[in-house]
Chains A and B, each alone.
Chain A
Amino acid sequence: DQQVKQNSPSLSVQEGRISILNCDYTNSMFDYFLWYKKYPAEGPTFLISISSIKDKNEDGRFTVFLNKSAKHLSLHIVPSQPGDSAVYFCAARTTSGTYKYIFGTGTRLKVLA
């Protein structure tokens, strides 16, 4: 049962344009959502997060939007840069007893110069 889904395995975007990465979830008990970026041969690194009580969080070029009614979140990167090329994982946290983080399968973003 995949509770966190990233339906687009890959995305290509021109440098300077907007990248939009999407994530859907099924569990209404998730209280926190996170995006991680992963370069080859490295561990995932934390990018940005959002609490379930908010609908938007912004950090520089990165903005995460949360639509609770649709159980959908998205990551916007504006403007996209070649260095943003990486795999992006969406994650959701549940606090039933302990903190547990469920990850999606990732979206490979390629920013074309």
Chain B
Amino acid sequence: DSGVTQTPKHLITATGQRVTLRCSPRSGDLSVYWYQQSLDQGLQFLIQYYNGEERAKGNILERFSAQQFPDLHSELNLSSLELGDSALYFCASSVEGSGGLFFGSGTQLSVL
């Protein structure tokens, strides 16, 4: 158990809809990262937050947004969903400078 909690584990929705993925980092970790893993693809970095502030952006679509709340949990919002958004979405947390990420078990999103 990495200590990072992601909910829900599975999400099935239709094209055009909007969903919210939730992540609770490990106790004490201030950084939260979001990654997307599509079929046969590596982990694509989406966005990073540190103590409530956006720190870095990767290949995140404009239809996607995220935030980190005062209690440090984070939410990834995906809107106007398309079939190609179907993927595993991982959240990871870290202590800055520790040299590693701790991943949650992911949310499997299926857009039908």
- A interface residues with partner B (beta carbon < 8 Å): 4, 6, 9, 32, 34, 36, 41-46, 49, 51, 89, 91, 93, 97-106
| Nearest residue, chain A, Cβ from B94 | A99
| Nearest residue, chain A, Cβ from B96 | A99
When A and B form their complex, which 7 residue pairs have the shortest distance between CB atoms, in order from nearest? Answer: A43-B103, A105-B42, A103-B43, A98-B55, A43-B105, A44-B103, A103-B42
Chain B residues closer than 8 Å to A93, beta-carbon distance? 99
Contact B101 A46 (CB under 8 A): yes
| Nearest residue, chain A, Cβ from B58 | A100
Say whether, besides A98-B56, A103-B45, A104-B42, A43 and B99 are in contact (CB < 8 Å): no
Chain A residues closer than 8 Å to B40, beta-carbon distance? 9, 105
Say whether, besides A43-B106, A44-B90, A49-B100, A100 and B4 are in contact (CB < 8 Å): no
Interface CB pairs A-B, < 8 A, 9:
A4-B42, A34-B100, A43-B6, A43-B90, A51-B99, A93-B99, A98-B56, A99-B31, A102-B45
- B interface residues with partner A (beta carbon < 8 Å): 2, 4, 6, 31, 33, 35, 40-45, 48, 50, 55-56, 58, 90, 92, 94, 96-97, 99-106
Contact A46 B43 (CB under 8 A): no
Chain B residues closer than 8 Å to A6, beta-carbon distance? 42
Chain B residues closer than 8 Å to A101, beta-carbon distance? 33, 45, 92, 101
Contact A46 B100 (CB under 8 A): yes
User: Taking the nearest CB of chain A, how far is it from the CB of B86, in angstroms?
Assistant: 16
Residue with the greatest number of chain B CB neighbours at <10 A, chosen from A4, A9, A45, A103? A103
Chain A residues closer than 8 Å to B99, beta-carbon distance? 32, 34, 49, 51, 93
Chain A residues closer than 8 Å to B45, beta-carbon distance? 100-103
